[in-house]
Amino acid sequence: MCSTLKFECETGNYHTFCPISCVAWLYQKISDSFFLVIGTKTCGYFLQNALGVMIFAEPRYAMAELEEGDISAQLHDFDELKRLCFQIHQDRNPSVIVWIGTCTTEIIKMDLEGMAPKIEQMIGCPIIVARANGLDYAFTQGEDTVLAAMAHRCPEYHQNHPNLVLFGSLPNTVANQLTGELANQGIHVSGWLPESRYEELPELGPGVFVCGVNPFLSRTATTLMRRRKCQLIGAPFPIGPDGTRAWIEKICQVLNIQPQNLDQRENSIWESLQPYISLIKGRSVFFMGDNLLEISLARFLVRCGMIVYEIGIPYMDKRFQASELSLLEKTCQQMNVSLPRIVEKPDNYNQVQRIRSLQPDLVITGLAHSNPLEARGITTKWSVEFTFAQIHGFTNARDILELVTRPLRRNNHLKDLGWSDLVQDSSLI
Amino acid sequence: MKLAYWMYAGPAHIGTLRVASSFKNVHGIMHAPLGDDYFNVMRSMLERERDFTPVTASIVDRYVLARGSQEKVVENITRKDKEEKPDLIVLTPTCTSSILQEDLQNFIRRAQASTDSDILLADVNHYRVNEFQAADRTLEQIISFYVRSNPNEIVQTKKPSANILGIFTLGFHHQHDCREIYRLLKDLGIEINLVIPEGCAVTDLKKLTKAWINIVPYREIGLMAAKFLEKEYKMPYISTTPMGLVETAAWIRQICKQTNSQMDYEQYIDHQTRFVSQAAWFSRSIDCQNLTGKKALVFGDATHAAAITKILVREMGINVCCAGTYCQHDGDWFREQVQAFCDQVLITDDHTRVGNMIAEIEPAAIFGTQMERHVGKRLDIPCGVISAPIHIQNFPLSYRPFLGYEGTNQIADLVYNSFTLGMEDHLLEIFGGHDVKTVITKNLSTDLIWESSAMEELQKIPGFVRNRIKRNTEKFARSRKLEKITVEVMYAAKEALGA
């Protein structure tokens, strides 16, 4: 049994969503925004298929589809973007237009940051530029690039007494729940980045404490510290009752407050989770890795009594996730299980070989591998659901386990039928 | 730059990957950034594919941008060669690699030295062609590569035989259609030589020219390969789509003529049409009288939209107000096919134009893609889905061909169920509908005053046509410069507009 976490790095041949997918949840969160993805048919096709029915509900996002003339610079990109933004401004009148730069704008070196301020002035509507491209980022990191860009637009904070701002996009009910948990400790949350309206962005500056709610927000954290001179509270993330408790404790500690009744609150949640825990206790789990929530989820599942074989993760910021990593270590010791291997930039092919030899009880993976693994008798849960479900705070711990146990519960029903292996040539696994 | 929310046809590399992954033991490698392998999700989810999709990405990241792919593509090819031992590896460019302008052909040459697999670079330009054109081209490319590399004289099969070109993964009801064609050909005494590309091994392609004819069921994919084989190997092809009774009969006649069939195929056609398929009888049965002259709009790929338009008009007596396709590259063919059958032809890949057309025409039913289904939902008009783009519910488990005689039954059901059922229609008209919903104003009318008696009369009209009546009445009132709508105005409008 190794005593410290080991980090490995593979080839980066893994499946994940393109980071432009962040528009899916961000346009819904920021209700007066409009997202313009400047890219090609490939980007459009991905969004249209990944977002499914949302497309048909007149979403507040669109593609600025680059054509051959744009690539070969026969068309003037400034005029083109100006034309489209004028149109959007006229048709939708948003409070902010967010340009999402893509791989193509990177390669042809389209100067989005240079053009945005000029067009912003001409149409009188703020334009924010985020480079959420697949060359540099994976899936949820898209949100990170948008929030980092948005942090520059927050008004300056001028008061003397310290203030707390939380960052990370959460559904409004979940944000309210977390705000409420802190209010129970006498802590006032003065704002969120992002708020549900662009016009309500929180004030930032020296004297403001900031704390993240999601593990993939490292650029935002850096921007808040370096550019807005805020003080970062490095805490584990409020995922699972253990994470939520540690998160609140850390904030209390920094703000010099003695936490009240946290023990009882956490215990009563664990109590209510017992039926789920009895289903997964002693079972093994394998994270293939695609959304950066993996460390926090693994830590929670270890605390629930599961054995984690491998945590695949697209990108590991050891500084931003430091508290989360040490809580994972502590939890493994406390539960007396060996530390999982953490594999950054995993290689899906190699992972499938490892899954074959380990035969874990549950594989948490993307949609590309779920059905093929299920056909080979391996139980899977698709990871994307964790991104869209409500998983933060005490209240939503149940939802995480609802997701984790669903395939196990389903397969429990089917297990005696004798047809769990459904491929003809099962030599592959 | 074009402002776009939605597209009918995907990017080029999707077409190439659909061809590559339909073949047995062929591996696709995309030269693409992280996240572009969404094709694997679609195949695994929509097709509910049990096997790992044989597609990987050779990732283009920041380093590749700075230094070029260098060894990376070559390494990925040789690695896949060792791991999966495919017969063929297809390297496909994406929009990203199109503009990087790396010499991918050179990578392939280098990889060839150390691999057992054949390797091809898909000859597609992201900015010039769409999914269908790319698939068509890639299929031709693979076929010509394997047919040409086996120049030995090949003898035709003794009995008449056919290749079916263009059965694909993620195709609209392709698996079912393929089975139906197989059944038809068996009835006609024609053997199937190869089905390409679904489930076909590229090593079998050398047998391709043994067949007497090639059959291309869908125009979008397979026509290029068929033309190539006709030109180089004198193989005749049949590109009629056997969809609907008339076209299926035409298809059978062509096949039998091309193969010098000795059987009495006219008798076979007659028997199948009148007694095996239920569609001919069904459209004659009194229940279907209510469909006479009902307005419909058709939109989809060229193959399906043209075929369905002809079926609706010729075989069911429905009035197609507008037939359209998003296959702009095939627009001339489409226009020629449907011109005589519909009031107007719409060729566009802009879904908002299609939506506006639907709103303007207000047909009683739409036959289109998933996009038209959603437009229909918004406007309260039923829609039957007849073409890609499609969702998971369009990959049914049960047997649902669109082609052949069983296909005619399926289409008849689809059409019939899409219109409000006949008797129900009557009862609603007589008794004023099941619902007591008040009029929802979806339009901009605020300048007109509805008298209360007229409003009451409007409430008596069945819910599903009420909005149309309301709009028509208002249109009429405006054209006559009337400010107040009375019961009399409503009746006058009905007489004038036939609403």
What is the rounded CA–CA span in Å between residue A39 and residue A48?
13
A13 to chain B, any CB pair closer than 8 A? The answer is: yes
Place of tokens 């026969």: A74
Q: Which domain holds residue B416?
A: 280-430
The predicted pLDDT at position A78 comes to 94
The nearest alpha carbon in chain B to A46 belongs to: B38
All structural domains of chain A: 19-137 (3.40.50.1980), 163-255 (3.40.50.1980), 262-417 (3.40.50.1980)
The predicted pLDDT at position B471 comes to 83
Residue B492 lies in a domain: yes
Residues B381 and B465 occupy one common structural domain: no
Question: Using alpha carbons only, what angle is made at residue B443 by residues B440 and B447, rounded to the nearest 5 degrees?
Answer: 100
Residues B110 and B52 occupy one common structural domain: yes
Residues 6+ apart with CB under 8 A from B49: A371, A372, B43, B169
Q: Find the DSSP H helices in A124-239.
A: 141-151, 172-184, 218-226
Residues B257 and B363 occupy one common structural domain: no
Which of A46-50, A143-147, B106-110, B486-490 reaches the highest mean pLDDT? A143-147
Average of per-residue pLDDT across A125-154: 96
A369 to chain B, any CB pair closer than 8 A? The answer is: yes
The nearest alpha carbon in chain B to A371 belongs to: B50
DSSP 8-class letter at B416 = H
Residues B295 and B422 occupy one common structural domain: yes
Confirm if B468 and B295 have CB atoms less than 8 A apart: no
| CA distances, B292 to each of B296, B362, B419 (Å) | 11, 17, 11
State both tokens at A175.
Answer: 């944000």
B59 three-class SS: strand
Question: How many CB atoms are closer than 10 A to CB A6?
Answer: 10
Torsional class of B194: left (φ above 0), alpha (ψ -120 to 50), beta (otherwise): beta
Residue B417 lies in a domain: yes
Q: Report residue B303 CA to chain centroid gap.
A: 7
What's the ipTM?
A: 0.91
Partners of B226 in the beta sheet? none
Distance from CA of A339 to the nearest CA of B (A): 29
**What predicted TM-score, i.e. pTM, was given to this entire model?**
0.89
What is the rounded CA–CA span in Å between residue B135 and residue B39?
14
The predicted pLDDT at position A380 comes to 96
State both tokens at B164.
Answer: 């079916």
Q: Is A18 annotated as a binding residue?
A: yes
Torsional class of A318: left (φ above 0), alpha (ψ -120 to 50), beta (otherwise): alpha
Q: Among partner residues B13, B50, B99, which is closest to A423 by beta-carbon distance?
A: B50
The verdict on a CB contact (< 8 Å) between B1 and A375 is no
List, in sequence order, every beta strand (DSSP E) within B19-176. 26-32, 55-59, 88-93, 118-121, 161-167
Question: How many CB atoms are closer than 10 A to CB A207?
Answer: 16
Q: At what angle do helices A240-254 and A172-184 cross, to 10 degrees?
A: 50
Confirm if B372 and B299 have CB atoms less than 8 A apart: yes
Confirm if B256 and B162 have CB atoms less than 8 A apart: no
Domain boundary, last residue among B235, B258, B275: B275
pLDDT of A281 above 70 = yes
Distance from CA of A207 to the nearest CA of B (A): 36
Straight-line distance from the first to the last Cα atom of chain A, in angstroms, rounded to the nearest whole number: 27
State both tokens at A429.
Answer: 């696994």
Longest pairwise C-alpha distance within chain B: 86
- For residue range B453-465, what is the model confidence (pLDDT) as tens digits? 888 888 877 776 7
Q: Among partner residues A56, A84, A135, which is closest to B60 by beta-carbon distance?
A: A135
Q: Cα torsion for A395, A399, A404, A409, to the nearest 10°?
A: 120
What is the rounded CA–CA span in Å between residue B78 and residue A210?
48
What is the rounded CA–CA span in Å between residue B417 and residue B382?
9
The predicted pLDDT at position B421 comes to 59
Single-letter amino acid code for the residue at A210 = V
Residues B425 and B469 occupy one common structural domain: no
Intervals of chain B under pLDDT 70: 420-446, 464, 497-499
Active site residues of B: 287
Phi first, then psi: give them for residue A78, nearest 5 degrees: -60, -50
The predicted pLDDT at position A429 comes to 44
Domain boundary, last residue among B111, B132, B153: B132
Residues B91 and B168 occupy one common structural domain: no
A63 three-class SS: strand
Residue B443 lies in a domain: no
Residue B148 lies in a domain: no
Pairing state between β B2-4 and A61-65: antiparallel
Q: Among partner residues B1, B51, B127, which is closest to A80 by beta-carbon distance?
A: B1
The verdict on a CB contact (< 8 Å) between A372 and B52 is yes
Give, for B365, the enclosing helix (H) or strand (E). strand B365-368
- CATH number of residue B322's parent domain: 3.40.50.1980
The predicted pLDDT at position B6 comes to 86
**Is-cis flag, bond preceding B401, omega within 30?**
no
Query: For the purposes of burial, counting CB atoms within 10 Å of the CB of A201, is it exposed (0-12), middle (13-18) or buried (19 or more)?
Result: buried
Distance from CA of A412 to the nearest CA of B (A): 21
Domain boundary, last residue among B430, B462, B486: B430
- Chain B positions touching A369 (Cβ under 8 A) are 44, 52
What is the rounded CA–CA span in Å between residue B195 and residue B213?
12
What is the rounded CA–CA span in Å between residue B289 and residue B3?
44
Q: At what angle do helices A218-226 and A141-151 cross, to 10 degrees?
A: 20
Q: Report residue B346 CA to chain centroid gap.
A: 16
Q: Which residues of B117-151 are buried (b: 16+ CB within 10 A; e: fewer)?
A: bbbbbbebebbebbbbbbbbbbbbbbbbebbeeee
Residues B214 and B259 occupy one common structural domain: yes
Residue B391 lies in a domain: yes
Confirm if B94 and B13 have CB atoms less than 8 A apart: yes
Residues B270 and B298 occupy one common structural domain: no
Q: Is B28 annotated as a binding residue?
A: no
Residues B485 and B379 occupy one common structural domain: no
Residue B425 lies in a domain: yes
The secondary structure of chain A in percent helix, strand, coil, rounded to multiples of 5, reads: 50, 15, 35
Residues B333 and B418 occupy one common structural domain: yes
Residues B333 and B417 occupy one common structural domain: yes
Question: How many CB atoms are closer than 10 A to CB B394?
Answer: 18
Residues B244 and B167 occupy one common structural domain: yes
Question: Using alpha carbons only, what angle is made at residue A30 by residues A25 and A33, rounded to the nearest 5 degrees?
Answer: 105
The verdict on a CB contact (< 8 Å) between B95 and A42 is yes
Confirm if B221 and B327 have CB atoms less than 8 A apart: no
What is the rounded CA–CA span in Å between residue A47 and residue A55?
8
- For residue range A288-326, what is the model confidence (pLDDT) as tens digits? 999 999 999 999 999 999 999 999 999 999 999 999 999
DSSP 8-class letter at B311 = I
Question: How many CB atoms are closer than 10 A to CB B483?
Answer: 9
What is the rounded CA–CA span in Å between residue A269 and residue A130?
38
Q: Report residue B372 CA to chain centroid gap.
A: 13
Dihedral sign (CA B180, B181, B186, B188): positive
State both tokens at A286.
Answer: 């394998």
- Chain B positions touching A17 (Cβ under 8 A) are 35, 38
Distance from CA of A20 to the nearest CA of B (A): 9
Residue B170 lies in a domain: yes
Number of domains in chain B: 4
Pairing state between β A341-344 and A307-313: parallel
Question: Using alpha carbons only, what angle is made at residue A175 by residues A172 and A181, rounded to the nearest 5 degrees?
Answer: 140
> Which of A135, A347, A350 best tests the B interface by mutation, with the highest count of B CBs <10 A?
A135
Average of per-residue pLDDT across A386-395: 93
Q: Is B404 annotated as a binding residue?
A: no
Residue B83 lies in a domain: yes
Question: How many CB atoms are closer than 10 A to CB B82?
Answer: 11
What is the rounded CA–CA span in Å between residue B254 and residue B216?
13
